[in-house]
Amino acid sequence: AQTVTQSQPEMSVQEAETVTLSCTYDTSESDYYLFWYKQPPSRQMILVIRQEAYKQQNATENRFSVNFQKAAKSFSLKISDSQLGDAAMYFCAYRSAYNAGNNRKLIWGLGTSLAVNP
């Protein structure tokens, strides 16, 4: 079964600085999707970025970018020029590209709580 691990329960960054959140996953599959979601204090889950495993190019979305290392099964999120509004819980998630049984689920990490200091 696939698993997602976020080894940093809490992190902090100074406003305008750069921070990297770690995510590793375990799978025997070759085709899958990876996601980063942000959950601010309002608790609404917001999609930050999505990466297809078959794409070698790292996904970017404005100040958010990923470092996708398929062989290492690593999917880290880099936030550049951190803003106060970036303070939130960040979740890494995995989804198989194959439609069978438990593959329909998003597999979630336990999250990293990011604080942004002014």
Partner 1 sequence: SQTIHQWPATLVQPVGSPLSLECTVEGTSNPNLYWYRQAAGRGLQLLFYSVGIGQISSEVPQNLSASRPQDRQFILSSKKLLLSDSGFYLCARGEGYFPTDTQYFGPGTRLTVL
Q: Is 41 in the site for partner 1 (CB under 8 A)?
A: no
Residue 55 interacts with partner 1 (CB under 8 A): yes or no: no
Site size toward partner 1, by CB under 8 A? 23
Amino acid at 14: Q
DSSP annotation string for 44-97: --EEEEEEETT--SPPEETTEEEEEETTTTEEEEEE-S--GGG-EEEEEEEEES
Among 27, 50, 67, 70, binds partner 1 (CB under 8 A): 50
- Give the interface segment with partner 1, choosing from 11-19, 41-49, 61-69, 80-88 (CB under 8 A): 41-49
Nearest CA among 17, 11, 29, 18 for reference residue 107: 29
Of 45, 54, 52, the closest CA to residue 66 belongs to: 52
Q: Which stretch binds partner 1 (CB under 8 A): 15-23, 30-38, 54-62, 71-79?
A: 30-38
Shortest distance (Å) from residue 79 CB to partner 1 = 20
Residues that bind partner 1 (CB under 8 A): 33, 35, 37, 42-47, 50, 91, 95-97, 99, 103-106, 108-111
